Structure 1
């Protein structure tokens, strides 16, 4: 609680006239633990306001906006290449509440949106090592979380106890964080003032679970994604694209047996290729 009081006192000058700030990180992810060349990079945003923050991938926001416009115009003829170019390896949204330190994690498993709330405990060890990263004077800290050991560099120049993903709780903003195996890293690229935090469209219901039950659902999906989707809804393929296509026209034919088979195979391969989850346990 002491850190939260420091945040409310010292962050106030930072936010005066600048109620929401977007911190843009470059995320580097080794998606396949067996392939050293499988490193993918993309941008992720941390939108910070005085009482909360939201972390998400930039591609996810663009996909949400694209699908939202399709619903508004009733035009669902998606360009598959366009949607594939907006694929993200950070398929979740994390909302952090600074008041009670809780975090709301939201992610789509198959076609449905799931969420859980937690208050993660980070046992940081602040080290004496310092280094200048860009314009910021940073100090090193380390901890173990999610089956990985993480090294972080934070700056008290920005007295916000937050960072990418679920990470936070240090006496300043996390400028860089990476796991010691080199599988994940987040590097602050820029910050800018924005009018309001990003908002994602809620389509359908969100299934609220405990983290334990969420992990059970997620594990079942990864073990057999096709069976999981068939058991939860009519499988149409396309990574969430087929659902709006069905909504757009009542007389449209469903996918052919070969198309369905191809869609199922793409889904299986996408799960197999992303086997290096950020939380191992």
Structure 2
């Protein structure tokens, strides 16, 4: 009986260790460079296990579920535009950190396909002596220049994680708050809880692995002429206009025009990206 008790304790400890910890961040953004008064706020998840972490929008999981159900029930014509509009997100990327190999993998959609690259710029943090308290956590200040922005982060060693939202990693603790010097983007830890495992991410389209520099080039091509970019892709995925709630039952010319206008409007509204270079 004693051996069984020890075995049960070991199994319980292994189960607890295997659990994934979810940290919920409130992300505040000013994505439109021509209208800084238009502030967007939404939640994002940082899911952490012993091997990796994932950062992505809360609406990503909800939207993927809706899209999957709609495709199964009737394809593009099954989309409910109002429902999709309610799940719109300014965080269309996902970021995976491979802890063993110290790699940061970034994924984002361009047109029909998902482009993936490995981050090749290390974050060079300057840890300062200044400390304070945010919520229940004692935090310490750190600064870095990354992606054309100057960032200030506050990290805590009260929790046993060396991670953070977005690409922020490399500090001796968990990032509780991060904000750029212009006040365009901020990440604030709201709460955390345990989940059984990482959620399954639905992928529409091809996953194309490229170098970061090639991703930037493809992104510029998409911005310059989104419809030509989409038409040049191999197909099989869901295009950006469809992802944003396009509807069927239109003649092809009108539908193309509406899609083009919609994509250009979206690009205008996202003219102040989190990374400027």
Please indicate the TM-score interval, normalised by the length of the shorter structure. 0.7 to 0.9
Distance 1:202 1:273 in 2: 25
1:98 equivalent to 2:99? Answer yes
Displacement of 1:71: 3.2
5 Å matches for 1:54-133?
54-74=54-74, 76-133=77-134
**Offset at residue 163 of structure 1 (A):** 0.5
**Aligned 8 A contact 1:179 1:185 in 2:** yes
Structure 1 unmatched ranges of 5 or more: 1-12, 246-251
Does the CA contact (< 8 Å) of 2:162 and 2:169 recur in 1? yes
Say which SS state the counterpart of residue 238 (structure 1) adopts. Answer: helix
Q: Give the aligned partner of residue 50 of structure 1.
A: 50
The Cα shift of 1:242 comes to 8.0
Partner of 1:36: 36
Check conservation: 2:111, 2:240, Cα contact below 8 A. Answer: no
* Structure 1 match to 2:189: 188
Q: Distance in 2 between matches of 1:137 and 1:216?
A: 42
The equivalent residue for 1:240 is 243
Partner of residue 4, structure 2: none
**Counterparts of 2:274 and 2:94 in 1: how far apart (Å)?**
14
CA distance in 2: counterparts of 1:226 and 1:147, whole angstroms: 28
Following TM superposition, where does structure 1 have runs of at least 4 consecutive aligned residues deviating by more than 6 angstroms?
A: 234-237
TM-score of the two chains, using structure 2 as the length reference: 0.87
Give the TM-score taking structure 1 as reference length: 0.86
Superposition deviation, residue 273 in structure 1: 1.6
* Residue 275 (structure 1) aligned with residue 276 (structure 2): no
Equivalent residue of 2:172, what SS? coil
Measured at CA, do residues 236 and 36 of structure 1 come closer, stay the same or move farther in structure 2, by a change above 3 Å?
closer
**How far did 1:232 drift?**
2.3
Alignment partners' CA distance in 1, 2:126 and 2:23: 24
Cα distance change of structure 1 residues 225 and 21 upon mapping to structure 2, 3 Å threshold? same
Deviations 1:184-212 (A, max 9, x none): 00000110110111221233321111111
Displacement after TM superposition at 1:17 (Å): 4.8
Within 2, Cα distance between the matches of 1:34 and 1:94?
Answer: 27
In structure 2, distance between residues paired with 1:241 and 1:276: 19
Greater mean deviation of Cα atoms: 46-55 or 258-267 = 258-267
Distance across 2 between alignment mates of 1:70 and 1:36: 35
Residue deviations 1:213-233 (CA, integer Å, cap 9, x gap): 111101111122122222326
Distance 1:257 1:121, change over 3 A: same
Q: Judge conservation of contact 2:21–2:193 (CA < 8 Å) in 1.
A: yes
CA separation of 1:223 and 1:241: change in aligned 2, threshold 3 A: closer
Deviations 1:137-166 (A, max 9, x none): 101100100010000000000121110101
1:103, 1:256 → 2: CA distance?
40
**Change over 3 Å in CA distance of 1:178–1:213 after alignment to 2:** same
Distance in 2 separating the partners of 1:236 and 1:50: 35
8 Å contact 2:113–2:204 — kept in the other structure?
Answer: no
Q: 1:120 deviation in Å?
A: 3.6
Aligned counterpart for 2:253 among listed residues 252, 257, 261: 257
In the superposition, relative to structure 1, how do residues 164 and 237 fare at CA in structure 2: closer, same or farther (>3 Å)?
closer
2:21 and 2:88 map into 1 onto residues whose CA distance is: 25
